[in-house]
Amino acid sequence: MSAITVIGAGYVGLVISACFASLGHNVRCVEPDDRRLGRILEGQLPIHEPGLDDLVGETSGNGTLQFTGVIEESLDGSEFAFMAVPTPSMPDGSSDLSAVMSVADQLKQHADDGTVVVIKSTVPVGTGDSVASILGGRLPVVSNPEFLREGTAIKEFMEPDRIVIGADDDKAGSAVAGLYNGISSEVITTDRRSAELAKYASNAYLAVRLSFINEIALLSQATNADIDSVTRVLATDHRIGPHYLKTGIGWGGSCLPKDVSALEHSGKTAGVETHMLKAAKVANAAQIEFLVSTLKTQLGGLSGKVIGMLGTAFKAGTDDVRESPAIAAAVRLVQEGAEVRVHDPLALERTALAAPELHRVNDVEKLTFGVDALILSTDCPEYRAIDWNRVSQSMKGNFIFDARNALDAQALNSVGLQYAAYGRRLRSN
């Protein structure tokens, strides 16, 4: 078993720390933000991720996982140093690599000779080279991009589709692959640059695919076809497959938007026009505009209207509101003069910081009372279980926009609610 330092205790850092510790490695996770570290040490994780509290509790309890704010301490005797620090978008779409470079400087000063530096953060192609040059060749640098999805992150760490190791140094690459012993998965070994690019290509492909199906949904809407039927035809074609073909309010979250922008920026730098990425972004914005214009038409304008929104996280099962399309839509509705009341089972605290202009309500029944329209913007099991008959009696209006194409239109119609979604052909009952 190995001694591992993980730098950054966010979604990725916490998940990989707890998972590596549960595989038996000795993990020290470094978090420089005192408040965040304090909460973690008190047993209160700063993020919501199913199963993570238990895994952190268990591995901290048996001593395989420790947290610290001091990088020097944690690096003492570490064989591996994983970077799990943020790489947010700059205004021009490029990645802000300041945290990565600052960690590289600290590793240069404090890491033992031979410590393998592993870049888990999503970084533009060539970043590993820059980190290696800061380290002056003293420490090998391996790219090991992370593909976990929030909400199912632990399962995806333990049962990944593949583990990607990008290394120009075979010995360091094999050592990193060895950390995953016990996990049954294909290990794809590449050069470092290809691994870096593959991570972006993977996220950008998912964004393009979602934008494509969303565009087909709008076409279905305009031509009186049915997106559910069209999708079924696509999904059963083995060349296409069923995943990431669910139409809805658009893609968001902490990764897809920033990674698409960063890849576009890499294209610009490399002199390659990234037509597909541009189109995917334009199509994504169209989903929110469709929602806003549908509500505007249905309600006879938005000024003074009260609209309830169920779900503010970028998807169900997480409290992450970064680049949430639901919040973007809600803010657009406020700009058009509506009052928007929002609910989310996990993300209301973060919503308050991201969009204070939205009225937060922590009870679904209270939220529906007196609203002119309701939007379902995340596909939470809790919302699927709503008693729509009661909702129809408590609302002022009767219009429901199902922005996740998740609800049963006929069931809603049968209790007097008017249903709209993206490209669903509705049978009248």
Ligand X SMILES: NC(=O)c1ccc[n+]([C@@H]2O[C@H](COP(=O)([O-])OP(=O)(O)OC[C@H]3O[C@@H](n4cnc5c(N)ncnc54)[C@H](O)[C@@H]3O)[C@@H](O)[C@H]2O)c1
81: contact with ligand X by CB under 6 A: no
Residues 6+ apart with CB under 8 A from 415: 388, 389, 391, 392
Q: What is the DSSP letter of 199?
A: H
Q: SS3 of 202, please? A: helix
Q: CA 397, CA 418: separation in Å to the nearest integer?
A: 9
Residues 6+ apart with CB under 8 A from 35: none
Tokens at residue 229, please? 């039927």
Place of tokens 């002056």: 136
Q: SS3 of 418, please? A: strand
Binding mask of the shown chain, residues 93 to 112, with x at each position contacting ligand X by CB under 6 A: ------x--xx---------
* Minimum gap (Å) between residue 389 Cβ and ligand X: 37
Q: How many CB atoms lie within 10 A of CB 389?
A: 13
Residues 6+ apart with CB under 8 A from 124: 94, 95, 97, 196, 200, 262, 265, 266
CA 5 to chain centre: 24
The count of residues in the chain is 429
* Minimum gap (Å) between residue 275 Cβ and ligand X: 24
Q: What is the DSSP letter of 95?
A: B
29: contact with ligand X by CB under 6 A: no
**CB 135 within 8 Å of CB 105:** no
29 is catalytic: no
User: Which residue stretch of 83-91, 178-186, 242-250, 376-384 sits at the interface with ligand X (rule: CB under 6 A)?
Assistant: 83-91
Query: Between residues 8 and 423, which has the closer beta carbon with respect to ligand X?
Result: 8
User: Which residue stretch of 31-39, 56-64, 210-218, 380-388 sits at the interface with ligand X (rule: CB under 6 A)?
Assistant: 31-39
Q: Which of 21, 25, 31, 211 binds ligand X (CB under 6 A)?
A: 31
Specify which residues 162 forms β-bridges with.
186
* Minimum gap (Å) between residue 147 Cβ and ligand X: 6
36: contact with ligand X by CB under 6 A: yes
Q: Which residues of 3-17 are buried (b: 16+ CB within 10 A; e: fewer)?
A: bbbbbbbbbbbbbbb
Measured between alpha carbons, how far is residue 318 from residues 145, 243, 246, 346 in Å? 21, 20, 18, 7
State which of positions 4-23 bind ligand X (CB under 6 A).
Answer: 7-13
198: contact with ligand X by CB under 6 A: no
> Of all residues in this chain, which one has the CB nearest to ligand X in the complex?
10
351: contact with ligand X by CB under 6 A: no
Residue of 19, 29, 255, 380 with catalytic role: 255
* Minimum gap (Å) between residue 340 Cβ and ligand X: 26
User: Which residue stretch of 58-66, 144-152, 228-236, 341-349 sits at the interface with ligand X (rule: CB under 6 A)?
Assistant: 144-152
122: contact with ligand X by CB under 6 A: yes
* Minimum gap (Å) between residue 219 Cβ and ligand X: 31
Q: Which of 148, 198, 207, 348 binds ligand X (CB under 6 A)?
A: 148
Q: Which of 78, 121, 231, 368 binds ligand X (CB under 6 A)?
A: 121
Binding mask of the shown chain, residues 252 to 271, with x at each position contacting ligand X by CB under 6 A: --xx----------------
Helix (H) or strand (E) holding 5: strand 3-7
318: contact with ligand X by CB under 6 A: no
* Minimum gap (Å) between residue 378 Cβ and ligand X: 16
Query: Between residues 60 and 87, which has the closer beta carbon with respect to ligand X?
Result: 87
* Minimum gap (Å) between residue 260 Cβ and ligand X: 12
What does the binding site for ligand X look like in residue numbers (CB under 6 A)? 7-13, 30-33, 36, 84-87, 99, 102-103, 121-122, 146, 148, 150, 254-255
Residues identified as active-site: 255
